[in-house]
């Protein structure tokens, strides 16, 4: 069975088992629009037939589009790909973005997204598709964090090193994105130290609000020290101090943070590929311009054609106080929780971090568990399929 059809079947299975569509999209690495489409097309009397591929060619033309409208769409695509003309420096290149642009320009009726995509393909303006990761993924139940409103889950990543022309100094790009509203915070950094990352998070959370969960990979600058795996570093301590749960994805599974990884690709195309930055200040200014463009000009079908800023306007959000100490003195490890998603190995064990291993159950080999440290109670709680499985002193 094709991988794509297996994913469609799994989406239906997860929906029938009670998972939300947002959770399903996050686990499978698909958009909510994709989940909505395939779960609504599902026919219980013909599961495979209803989820199979159909010809994308229309049975009959619904509208004869003028050559002028088609030319506008294709010219927009070319300007977006070049990203060197005023107004298009930070523009998205997809058919969806072009559809909203034509709509804003007063084209009525506006060509459907699928029609615009067909024109782009026929003109040979389709970018090479990203490498498929589906075959790398395990499709066992994955305990993704709940994401049903703005700022439920932020994803964090660090991109680099970045070298400026004529300099050997290593610079980095820090990116934070809200999974639900697609809002982004972006900044350049002169190093990848935990203090720099913590300072960035403080500034970001003062702008776009505090999340319930901060999801990230297992880089030491995020997590802490391998030598002292239970001490935890500045980023984790900041999260706990402001009431955010840090969540670490499974090691060597970067697609679990695919939402922010995808944005890093956008940052490469929209920012780093089209400018020779004179110095750090220039790079920082460029990152701020891109952040502003994403939040105020990128109209997305997942947000009903709104920009992230417009979409977030109706929500009551929790912001970090403007006078919060960005230098972050000693932050105590005395409250909150720290979460890890881990794959149970053949031995029945999980490795939390470094050599900190715990016996779970050999019968759960190759299943994912959620391991949550309760700081106040000094307990490590292991959950499988939402049920408490084991408890360890920690």
Q: What is the pLDDT of residues 19-67, one digit of tens each?
A: 888 888 888 888 888 888 888 888 776 677 788 886 555 554 557 899 9
Mean pLDDT, range 316-337, rounded to an integer: 86
pLDDT higher for 217 or 268?
A: 217
Whether residue 352 has pLDDT greater than 60: yes
Query: Is the pLDDT assigned to residue 128 strictly greater than 80?
Result: no
* Cα(345)–Cα(348) distance, integer angstroms: 5
**Cβ atoms within 10 Å of 279's Cβ, excluding its own:** 14
Q: What percent of the chain has pLDDT over 90?
A: 58
Give the rounded percent of residues in the chain with a pLDDT score beyond 70: 92
Model pLDDT for residues 299-314, shown as the tens digit of each residue:
998 899 999 999 999 8
CA dihedral 305→186→262→112, nearest 10 degrees, is 20
Positive or negative, the Cα torsion across 27, 31, 32, 38?
A: negative
- Are the C-beta atoms of residues 126 and 77 closer than 8 Å to each other? no
- Using DSSP's 3-state secondary structure scheme, residue 163 falls into coil
Q: What is the pLDDT of residue 136?
A: 41
Beta bridge partners of 342: 369
pLDDT at 108 over 60: yes
Beta-strand (E) ranges in 3-122? none
Q: How many CB atoms lie within 10 A of CB 299?
A: 20
Predicted pLDDT at 291: 96
Inter-CA distances, 196 with 199, 201, 232, 282, 319, Å: 5, 9, 16, 18, 20
* pTM, rounded to two decimals: 0.76
Give the span between the Cα atoms of 109 and 115, in whole angstroms.
12
Average of per-residue pLDDT across 9-23: 82
Average pLDDT of the residues in 254-274:
85
> What's the CA gap between 164 and 166, in Å, rounded?
6
CA-wise closest residue to 307 among 182, 176, 206: 182
Q: Categorize the per-residue pLDDT at 328 as very low, low, confident or very high, splitting at 50, 70 and 90.
A: low
Q: What is the 3-state secondary structure (H, E, C) of 177-229?
A: EECCCCCEEEEEECCCCHHHHHHHHHHHHHHHCCCCEEEECCCHHHHCCCCCC
Q: Which residues of 211-247 are buried (b: 16+ CB within 10 A; e: fewer)?
A: bbbbbbbeeebbbbeeeeeeebbbbbbbbbbbebbbb
Q: Please tell me the predicted confidence (pLDDT) of residue 297.
A: 94
Whether the pLDDT of residue 333 is over 90: the answer is no
Q: What mean pLDDT comes out for the span 360-383? A: 96
Cβ distance 32 to 38 under 8 Å? no
pLDDT at 77 over 70: yes
pLDDT > 80? residue 127:
no
- Mean pLDDT, residues 88-117 taken together: 90
Q: What is the mean pLDDT of the chain?
A: 88
What would the pLDDT profile of 275-294 be if each residue is shown by its tens digit?
789 899 999 999 999 999 99
């Amino acid at each position: 069975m094709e991988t794509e059809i297996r994913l469609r079947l799994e989406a239906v299975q997860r929906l029938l088992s009670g998972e939300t569509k947002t959770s399903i999209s996050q686990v499978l690495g698909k958009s909510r629009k994709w989940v909505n489409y395939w779960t609504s097309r599902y026919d219980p009397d013909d599961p495979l037939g209803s989820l199979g591929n159909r010809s994308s060619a229309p049975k009959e033309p619904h509208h004869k589009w003028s050559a002028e409208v088609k030319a506008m769409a294709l010219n927009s695509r070319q300007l977006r790909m070049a990203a060197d003309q005023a107004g298009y420096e930070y523009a998205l290149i997809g058919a969806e973005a072009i559809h909203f642009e034509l709509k804003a320009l007063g084209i009525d009726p506006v060509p459907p997204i699928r029609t615009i995509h067909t024109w782009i393909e026929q003109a040979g303006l389709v970018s090479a598709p990203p490498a498929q990761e589906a075959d790398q993924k395990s499709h066992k139940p994955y305990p993704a964090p709940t994401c049903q409103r703005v700022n439920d889950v932020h994803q964090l990543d660090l991109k680099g090193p970045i070298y400026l022309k004529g300099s050997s100094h290593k610079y980095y790009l820090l990116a934070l994105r809200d999974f639900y509203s697609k809002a982004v915070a972006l900044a350049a950094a002169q190093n990848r130290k935990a203090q720099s990352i913590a300072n960035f998070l403080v500034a970001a959370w003062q702008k776009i609000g505090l999340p319930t969960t901060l999801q990230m990979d297992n880089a030491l600058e995020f997590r802490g020290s391998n030598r002292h795996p239970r001490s935890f570093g500045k980023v984790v301590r900041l999260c706990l101090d402001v009431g955010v749960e840090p969540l670490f994805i499974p090691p060597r599974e970067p697609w679990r943070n695919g939402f922010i990884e995808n944005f890093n690709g956008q940052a490469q195309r929209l920012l780093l590929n089209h400018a020779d930055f004179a110095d750090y200040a220039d790079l920082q200014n460029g990152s701020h311009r891109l952040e502003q463009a994403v939040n105020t000009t990128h109209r997305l079908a997942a947000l009903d054609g709104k920009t992230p800023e417009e979409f977030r306007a109706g929500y009551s959000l929790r912001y970090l106080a403007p006078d919060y100490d960005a230098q972050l003195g000693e932050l105590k490890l005395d409250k909150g929780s720290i979460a890890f998603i881990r794959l149970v190995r053949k031995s029945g064990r999980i490795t939390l971090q470094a050599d900190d291993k715990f016996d779970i159950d050999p019968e759960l080999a190759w299943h994912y568990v959620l391991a949550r440290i309760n700081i106040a109670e000094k307990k490590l709680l292991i959950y499988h399929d939402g049920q408490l499985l084991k408890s360890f002193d920690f």
